Amino acid sequence: MKIFVDSAEIDEINKAKEYGMCDGVTTNPSLIKKAVDKLKSGGKKVDMANYISDICKVAGRDSPVSLEVVSLKAEDMVKEGVMLYGKFNGLMGNVVIKVPVSTSRQEGEEHYEGLKAIKDLSRRKIPVNATLVMTPEQALLAAKAGAAYVSPFAGRIDDYLRTKLGESFGKGDYFPAEGKHKDGQLVDDKGIASGVELVKRTMEILERYGMKTEVIAASLRNARQVREVALAGAHIATIPFDVLEEMIKHPKTFEGIVKFSEDVVPEYQKIFGD
Ligand code: E4P
């Protein structure tokens, strides 16, 4: 499974690269806002074009960087996608355009603008990451429209189910892959009992039809969720930097390294020189 860094912070992308744990980067307007706010609070001015260029350069040639469009109409999203690709892909050849699978904000609005934009950009050979995917059906439609990647949002589906359950929860809290029951009934979202199940079913459908679209398990909130999307066979997990750090830690590893360090006898140490 490839690991993408779900961040627009250059320091984090840099560190993940140093760890050898960055096969790509995903950004969205909220992640860009977080990075920009941080820079501004540190008294820095932000030139967005330079900043995005730096993200693309730090990620490097073989690491796709998803950059999201902001408009809601297909025609405008296509213009933005073409512009972003034209402006930044020349640097490292790694730009992917992120397009919401649907941009309607309520019933009654046009639901197919996202899919139209995905289709148009894909036909122009611009790779698209279909984002805000909340059901396997949306993923199937995006894949059929030609998306190179689809991003099912595991954490947000868990949030949705927890809200249905009437639970209060923290962003990083674990939600079981098998779902939860209320009044003896499994609480689900049209048959999907957890974010991990969303990723699993999406994988099953795309694999069954031999589709080339890669599945990016997104909106991941904790290390155990990463394990479960890996077990579900996700091609890629896009992981926030704090979760990437959580993945490496364990108290028994800490304890073990303390003991091993204490037990190094001088005769053994000598082998390594002074
Ligand atoms: C990545 O592509 C998504 O934009 C991101 O994982 C969303 O995560 P969130 O639901 O924690 O905001």
Which of the residues 2, 44, 79, 98 is marked catalytic? 98
Average of per-residue pLDDT values in the chain: 97
Confidence class for position 214, pLDDT limits 50, 70, 90: very high
pLDDT of residue 30: 96
pLDDT of residue 150: 99
- The answer to whether the CB of 94 falls within 8 A of the CB of 59 is yes
Encoded tokens for 137: 């059906």
> Please, where are the H alpha helices in 93-211?
113-123, 136-144, 154-165, 195-208
Three-state helix/strand/coil letters over 231-245: HCCCCEEEECHHHHH
CATH classification (class only), 2-270: alpha beta
How far apart are the C-alpha atoms of 195 and 49, rounded to whole Å?
34
pLDDT of residue 120: 98
Percent of the chain with pLDDT over 70: 100
Burial 231-248 (b: 16+ CB within 10 A, else e): ebebbbbbbbbebbebbe
Confidence class for position 32, pLDDT limits 50, 70, 90: very high
Per residue in 230-256, pLDDT (tens digit) is 999 999 999 999 999 999 999 999 999
- The answer to whether the CB of 13 falls within 8 A of the CB of 244 is no
- Residue 238 beta carbon below 6 angstroms from any ligand 1 atom: yes
Per residue in 136-182, pLDDT (tens digit) is 999 999 999 999 999 999 999 999 999 999 999 999 999 999 999 99
Of 4, 5, 6, 128, best ligand 1 pocket probe by most atoms within 8 Å of the beta carbon: 6
Q: Which residue has its alpha carbon closest to ligand 1 atom 4?
A: 28
Q: What is the mean pLDDT of residues 103-130?
A: 96
How far apart are the C-alpha atoms of 65 and 202, rounded to whole Å?
22
Find the 27 Cα to ligand 1 centroid distance in Å. 8
Q: Is 64's pLDDT higher than 90?
A: yes
Residue/partner pairs of 78-81 with CB below 8 Å, 24 or more apart:
78/117, 78/120, 78/121, 81/117, 81/121, 81/126, 81/128
- Residue 222 beta carbon below 6 angstroms from any ligand 1 atom: no
Q: Is 110's pLDDT higher than 90?
A: no
pLDDT of residue 195: 98
Q: What is the pTM of this model?
A: 0.96
pLDDT of residue 162: 98
- Residue 218 beta carbon below 6 angstroms from any ligand 1 atom: yes
pLDDT of residue 164: 97
Q: Is 274's pLDDT higher than 90?
A: no
How far apart are the C-alpha atoms of 152 and 243, rounded to whole Å?
18
Residue 45 annotated as catalytic: no
